[in-house]
Structure 1
Amino acid sequence: MSMKKTLPLAVFTAFATLLSACGGDSSSTAPAPEPNGPSTSSQPPAAPPPTPNTPPQAPQSRDRYSFANGCYTLSSEGLFLQNTAGEAGFQLTDNVSEASAFYMKPTALGSYLLVADYQRDPGSAGVIELLGISDPAGEFLDQGGNFVGEVSYLVSGLGDTLNLVLDPIAPLGGLLRELGESLDGLGGNLGDINVQPSLGKVTKASDLAVWNLNPSDDERFTLTSQVTGLLLTANDDGLTLTSPSLESDNNRFTLTPAAQCASYPEAMLSAQVNEQGPAIYLKEVQRFRNVPGLDNDDIFGYVDAHSHISAYEFIGGRINYGDPFHKFGVDHALHDCAENHGPEGLTGLIEQVTSTPGPHATRGWPDFPYWPRNNSLQHHQSYYKWIERAHLSGLKILVNHLVHNEILCQINPQKQNDCDTMAAIEMQAEQMHRMQDYIDAQSGGPGEGWFRIVTDPSQARDVIADGKMAVILGVEASKALNCGEFLDVAECNREEIVERLDRLYAMDVRSLFPVHKFDNAFGGHLPDLSDGIGIGAVLYGGNLLETGHTVEFEECPEHDHGDTSGPLADTLQPFGIFDQLLFQIDYVGERFPATPEELAEYDPRRGTDHLCNTRGLTDLGFFLIQELTKRGMMIETDHISRKAASQILALTGERGYPVINSHGGWGGTEDLRDQVAAQGGISASFGSVRGDWVDQLTRDGNRPRADEFKVGPFGGAPFASDVNGIANLASNPGTPEQEASLYPFTSVDGRVVFDKQLTGDHAFSLYEGRGVAHYGLYPDQIADMIANSERPEEQVNDAVNQLFTSAEAYIRMWERLEAAVQ
């Protein structure tokens, strides 16, 4: 333990707590956007461009949020902040021509980094200069730049710069100075290390460089150090920090628009948007203008019905590396996976088992030599700027499933988060609201961002009408609501189910999987029938650990995944003990390497494609379905046993309450998926490539459904990315030679021109061997499908129509569901 931790500083802790309470809004802790709005360049530079030479107009709204990603000089009482050369720091000047321009990079709503300079050559991480508080001995920050020291100790180190004259608590000024002096001697004892912080130039983004901007009077603002709660002050003595109780003209600043500002690192949209902006309604798009049956208010756009952008926090929080946002920007969000996966990525166990085994380059920003890539399952692929790029191509609804598996978390040696399911899900829900706040901060204030969490279909329509993307929160957890079972004894009761559902509902969750991967107190799961030693084998063992029993099999009806028209409970008969043992051997055997061809005829394994889980809905499962329908929550039938899925369809079908199959074959048989569509629900398949994607979209869009469930002639076919859900994104067979034939390309609505997406120094292309390496390449994949599917033109057109009517189809499904509650 550091010696400073043992000092009796209770009085200073109380003082610092008082000061910190005077700071601004710091409720959001997260990531960064593109300065000055979306990129309008199809070939943007490696870093955001500087502000144009002509001074920008002052913002019409002078609230504390409106300065986001803008360029300003700061002055108080005729004194301007000036960034001096080298490490000399900042000083004041009364000459406006010597004033420095600061780039205002939001870290949260109302909080900023004051960027005096940023320079980055290709291949380098960049050099930055910020106004902040130094940390000479590295005592106050962790590696991520988060403040971890004692506030009282930090404030005492700043004692010589504090202006506490006439302060009601003025005697503390002397005490702080004395403590600062005593620390000089302590520093000598520790090896002549300077541990005293100072106000001035810092070269790395951290909490010590974050300032809360708060309105004062006459359109002036105060700048409060987020960590110390002290006010930046300009007077004849230079720049100092002052107690907030001494606010005066000397710490009230005027922010004046300036030119030639520094920039800040960010991923680019690599998109040129015309003046109208992306289309909102089908009537705005040429291909839909003469289609009979379409209404003027029908939404143009597509749906990702199944994603996991919050999965960076699941299974303990150190499985996936990378964040969808970070308060200090892209270079922190996508830095180096060695932080989680060790040297050369060798401790990234899932990566070693499921992707290319062996070492890999761990560095992300700025050149991304290895990751992200479509089949790299432990690296984050949904940074918020990449999602925004997809939004520009027509992504109108994103369903983000908060995801967790308690047993996998418990056996995972790499974790930092609570393994309890409810705690994990609630933490992810909170992070999604912080992400919304962070994007709002980049866009100019609360409600201004394009990423909007919605809780009902009317709200979704309003958000989309405003040119933004509707985000729906769902839950996909094996121990849903902490309701597991062990040896058939449920670990929850009805009262707990109601209480936990209410908690999730209050956090804006509107969709839920009753079952996922393991049997639980609600019913049986759909077994993983994938071959080989991989996730299927892990989950099979996990079910045993979680429930105390193996998967209990029976033969599926007709052995062909066919008839599901009646309740499966009436058609399936469980096996005896001896037959169960044989089927367990079959199931486990299929997960291991095939028998050599010359010995194949002697292999006793018979295959498992005809096996079904014996378990349907339990009594608690029926109760859960009733509670979900009472609240108008969406019910996801993927991953649940065929028997339980059939029972859910029978229950909801009687009420006209549609359900969802959000990611392909995990919804069971094609007959089950047809039944979901026939009852007015949504059926989606995984995002794929070229002809295969065309086939999936036309199949899902043309499933049998009544005309009342269609959008004109179209059923609407969402896709499922399953991004960051320990699942591959789509590959692409294209070659580098094909790049010129695709890039640049125009969006389906004709209003956006896309080029290769640029993050740092890496220009991401579908054809570099990584496929859909990250979420921002879905626009490219759609364009590639249209150009290179080798399917008949009529079928390709139908696939595009089905995809881009899926947003309207999804909202109509939600509206029918809501009406069924009333």
Structure 2
Amino acid sequence: MTSPIRPGSHKALASIFIAATLSLPGCMESSQDSAPEQAEETSSAQQPPGTIQADKQIDQTRYNVANQCYLLESNGQYLNADAQAGRYGVTADRASATPFYLRPTALGSYLLVTDYRRNSGEIGEFDMLGISDPAGEFLDDTGTFIGEVSYLVAGLGDTTNVVLDPIAPLGSAVRAIGESLEFLGDQLAETDVNPALSMLAQPSDLGVWQLNNVDGDRFSLVSQVTGLLLGVRDNQLTLVSPSLADDSNQFELTKTTGCPGYPEAELSAEVLDKQGPANYLKEVDRFRNIQGIDQDDVFGFVDTHSHVSAYEFIGGRINYGAPFHRFGVTHALKDCEANHGPWGATGFVELATTGIGLHDTQGWPSFNDWPRNNSLQHHQSYYRWLERAHLSGMKILVNHLVHNEVLCAINPQKQNDCDPMEAILLQIQRMYEMQDYIDAQHGGPGEGWFQIVTSPGQAREVIGDGKLAVVLGIEMSKVFRCGEFQGVAECTREEIVERLDKMYQLGVRNIFPVHKFDNAFGGHLPDLSSGVGIGAVLYGGNMLETGHPVEFEQCPEEVEYTGYEPDQNATLQPFGLVDQLLYQIDYLGDRFPETPEELADMDPRRGTDQLCNRRGLSDLGDFLIQELIRRKMMIETDHISRKAAARILALTEPLDYPVINSHGGWGGTEALRDRIAAQGGITSSFGATRGDWVDKLTRNGHRPRNDRFKVGPFGGSGFASDVNGIAQLASNPGTPEQEAGLYPFTSIDGRVRFDKQRTGDREFGLYDGRGVAHYGLYPDQIADMIRNSDRDPAQIDDAVNQLFTSAEAYLRMWERIENAPL
């Protein structure tokens, strides 16, 4: 199953331009209409690729050779590695041929990895075929190509093991093009770069090859940075222009063994059932005989609120790390010093919000200090960690693209555009790149377990194929650039429609009208955090963004009951100047000392614990809600003032149009959340620990609602991770004895066994002081809740049932939105 929009692998502009100039054959193939069945999960993160064998022989494609071991042969000549000389060559003796591991960097692109450093004892010590960089000018310290293609191609023409004489005239033209592209990096001038085919010790763009089907099961290999084809001529390994390509530039790939394992985070999970984890409730014993459970009801849970793409938000250097990297975990989670300085000294958000001071910045392979549950500036949703949670039963992941323009502007650590639309477009691009990357690891477009969906029907198809349905949403303070200053909107209705249409076309189906700051659509729900922490920072940010402080009032009780529709032209009597000033001071978070009990009656701040934003939904806010309804998009009511939330419910209720409270307390009061449930919407809370999590799941699952909104007897209660959203994941109590009794454990459906998760040299558990250190520990957290909660066993069972019916509940809610009358 593929998404409606699947951008191809995103290459460097220089590579695309040169490839086009040289008429490179075998362009990226278009997406398939439907995906083949998902490959069976493996228990090893570093599975020896030579042992991966297909159950039956299938035709090779440029995609399905991924993460497997091959001999490369052209006209009877095999590629081999000369370890002593540190170079690659060819041999006619198959016994002397070198096995190559094809590690995807993107769809159809690979590192050609060999294992001549395996005896060093170092994980990740291997070699690969690529282009040399003797002058040290072509790459930055991440392995990204920043040199000039024209100089590289010209230099290759001077090497003895490359056949390029006929390309000389074309090389001059390419040189001229390269000199005009200033963004490619510093000019090499007269530097004698003299690059050649080489044995690379580290992955880089110089080692990336595009694999293209040429003739049946024969392939060409094209250097990504030069556009030149690998070949074998006169018993030498060569590079030639595409215009000179012949059968000496065609290779057969023969599956073999003996390749190295490529470094990767482990799943630490074994699929016990050949059919894989359950997709439907009827496949699980605990649901099989429950009345009201249908055959096609989805088994599993939904994370209603995550920020997988937040590594690019508010400037792109706040959250260190990434959910994927073309060169794998060694680059995605390497060392946070790149963003946070030596010993993390410039990790200001973490210092301000959690008190975590200096720390060891090293990530892979030791992870001495991060990730941890309360480490807010380190990425916690690497794709293999997400995959582990998927194996435990996660069927839907809602990823909210997140941004705040003011925080970006004042952030000294940034590399991305602070413009709200540009920031969101970049994160959308990254999500499709992540989908493509995971597809590449699993054999081609649509083959990966991570699939972006745009409708509930498409989500059901993806889940039915054993994959994770990913929904894109937007949570940002200045949605569609629609801020306000001194009450004046910074956008028009026409601009709202244009920008909303663009987001819809790109696959976004979920919108927060308001987040953290007042904007042109309405007032926000104030952050009442105590202390001089993020609450005070956001308060100041609202002042900068809007030109006014939060305007408080005593919380109106009338928004608490169904049927209330506020008069958009009515306002409550303003507070006096002194009262409003006291509300502002109390809100700032730098709280006054506790009032002595004997003076409590004289305390002028009495009642300020019931603060509400006076701003409701604006006329433009009403317009936005109507446009979202017209497009059948999901509406989030978190972070919005109680007045505005009540207005949204009043607009949607007559249409039988459900709305969402995706992460607990940010949705206002319990009464508002009850109204959302009664209207057929989703209410979720943050993932917690043990008894507290049981209480949250059962409370949300049993909110009053019509029977037609239930999954059999269950309301369905997902959870919100808010991962990477400057929010702590769950901590966890525990003892060594409890840890010893937890592992190994099996999933709720009994089809997957989990051991303690390992990434690099570190094992991550729940009881080492780090809690839910990363997303891959949610399976462990569920198991811990079941084993160690002090709640009644029947209540624990109910909580588990509510959680694992939440994916079906979410889909039914989405289907009601699609079927709502306009």
- Indicate whether the TM-score tops 0.5: yes
Name the counterpart of 1:645.
645
Gap runs ≥5 in structure 2: 1-14, 32-37, 176-187
SS of residue paired to 1:541: helix
Secondary structure of 1:163's counterpart equals: coil
1:163 maps to: 163
Q: Which residue of structure 1 aligns with residue 35 of structure 2?
A: none
Summarize deviations over 1:618-671 as a string: whole Å, max 9, x none.
000000000000000000000000000000001000111000000001000000
Aligned match of 1:742: 742
Q: CA deviation at 1:121?
A: 8.5
Q: CA deviation at 1:564?
A: 6.8
Distance 1:597 1:493 in 2: 52
Post-superposition offset of 1:591: 3.5
The letter of the residue matching 1:788 is N
Give the drift of 1:128: 2.0
CA contact (8 A) 2:209 2:224 kept: yes
Moved more, 111-120 or 495-504: 111-120
| CA distance 1:107–1:306, change in 2 (3 Å) | same
Taking the aligned partners of 1:16 and 1:283, their CA distance within structure 2 comes to 52
Structure 2 counterpart of 1:660, which letter? Answer: I
CA distance in 1, matches of 2:75, 2:511: 57
Distance 1:272 1:797 in 2: 24
Equivalent residue for 2:226? 228
For 1:357, the equivalent position in structure 2 comes to 356
Alpha-carbon distance change, 191 to 359 in structure 1, aligned in 2, over 3 angstroms: farther
Q: Cα gap change, 1:55/1:752 in structure 2, threshold over 3 Å: closer, same or farther?
A: closer
| RMSD (CA atoms) | 2.7
Q: Which residue of 1 aligns with 2:499?
A: 500
In the alignment, structure 1 residue 272 sits paired with structure 2 residue 270: yes
Q: Which moved more, 1:129-138 or 1:308-317?
A: 129-138
Letter matched to residue 791 of structure 1: R
Whole-Å Cα distance in 1 between the matches of residues 172 and 289 of structure 2?
80
Aligned-partner residue type, residue 755 of structure 1 = D
Residue type of the partner of 2:42? Answer: S
Q: Distance in 2 between matches of 1:191 and 1:621?
A: 57
Q: Please tell me the residue identity of whatever aligns with 2:387.
A: E
1:157, distance to aligned residue in structure 2 (A)? 1.2
Q: Give 1:134's match in structure 2, choosing from 129, 132, 135.
A: 132
CA contact (8 A) 1:25 1:212 kept: no
Secondary structure of residue in 1 paired with 2:86: coil
Deviation at 1:246, TM superposition (A): 1.1
Report if aligned partners of 1:632, 1:821 keep a CA contact under 8 Å in 2.
Answer: no
Distance across 2 between alignment mates of 1:245 and 1:318? 43
**1:567 and 1:643 in contact (8 A); partners too:** no
Matches within 5 A, 1:279-678: 279-557=278-556, 566-567=564-565, 572-588=572-588, 590-592=589-591, 594=593, 605-606=605-606, 608-678=608-678
Task: Compute the displacement of 1:170 (Å).
Answer: 5.4
Partner Cα separation in structure 2 for residue 755 and residue 610 of structure 1: 46
Residue identity opposite 1:521 in structure 2: A
SS in 2 for 1:51: helix
CA distance, structure 1, for counterparts of residue 380 and residue 492 of structure 2:
38
Residues in 2 aligned to 1:693 and 1:205: alpha-carbon distance in whole angstroms: 43
Question: What does residue 183 of structure 2 align with?
Answer: none
Percent of paired sites with the same residue = 66
Quote the Cα distance in structure 2 between the aligned partners of 1:15 and 1:361: 42
Q: Which residue of 1 aligns with 2:148?
A: 150
Q: Larger deviation: 54-63 or 469-478?
A: 54-63
For residue 658 of structure 2, give the secondary structure of its aligned residue in structure 1: coil
Aligned to 1:6: none
Which residue number corresponds to residue 715 of structure 1? 715
| Local SS of the residue matching 2:820 | helix
- CA–CA distance in 1 between the matches of 2:648 and 2:78? 68
Summarize the Cα distance change of 1:74–1:492 in structure 2 as closer, same or farther, 3 Å threshold.
same
- Residue 611 of structure 1 and its aligned partner are, at CA, apart by 0.9
CA contact (8 A) 1:16 1:152 kept: no
CA contact (8 A) 1:16 1:155 kept: no
| TM superposition shift of 1:38 | 3.2
Q: CA deviation at 1:563?
A: 5.2
Greater displacement, 231-240 / 802-811: 231-240
- The separation in 2 between residues aligned to 1:363 and 1:234, in whole angstroms, is 42
Distance 1:620 1:175, change over 3 A: closer
Shift of 1:164: 3.8
Counterpart residue number, 2:259: 261
2:49 and 2:101 in contact (8 A); partners too = no
The alpha-carbon distance between structure 1 residues 191 and 505, as it changes in their structure 2 partners (threshold 3 A), is closer
> Quick check: 1:587–1:607 contact (8 Å CA) kept in 2?
no
1:39 Cα offset (Å): 2.8
What amino acid is the match of 2:342? P
Distance in 2 (CA, whole Å) between partners of 1:95 and 1:109 is 32
TM-score (norm. length: structure 2): 0.91
8 Å CA contact 1:13–1:151 kept in 2: the answer is no
Greater shift, 727-736 or 63-72, is seen at 727-736
Displacement of 1:202 in angstroms is: 0.6
The residue identity in structure 2 corresponding to 1:681 is G
In 2, Cα distance between equivalents of 1:123 and 1:655 = 65
Task: Count residues in correspondence.
Answer: 785
SS at match of 1:200: strand
SS in structure 1 opposite 2:359?
Answer: coil
Equivalent AA in structure 1 for residue 551 of structure 2: E
**Who is 2:181 aligned against?**
none
User: Judging changes above 3 Å, is the alpha-carbon distance between structure 1 residues 376 and 104 closer, same or farther for their aligned structure 2 residues?
Assistant: same
Which residue in 1 is equivalent to 2:12? none
Please report how far the alpha carbon of residue 163 of structure 1 lies from its aligned counterpart in structure 2 after TM superposition.
Answer: 2.4
Give the whole-Å Cα distance in 2 for the aligned partners of 1:705 and 1:176. Answer: 67
Q: In the alignment, residue 712 of structure 2 is paired with which amino acid?
A: G
- The whole-number CA distance in structure 2 between the counterparts of 1:650 and 1:562 is 12
- Give the Å deviation of 1:247: 1.2
Distance 2:562 2:92 in 1: 81
| CA deviation string 1:544-574 (max 9, x = no partner) | 0000000000001359x95576245579543
Q: 1:323 & 1:123 partners in 2: Cα distance? A: 27
> Is the CA contact 2:157–2:164 (under 8 Å) kept in the aligned structure 1?
no
Cα gap change, 1:104/1:281 in structure 2, threshold over 3 Å: closer, same or farther?
A: same
User: Which string of whole-angstrom CA distances, capped at 9 and with x for unpartnered residues, describes residues 567-596 of structure 1?
Assistant: 4557954323332222112222x4447459
Is residue 795 of structure 2 the alignment partner of residue 795 of structure 1?
A: yes
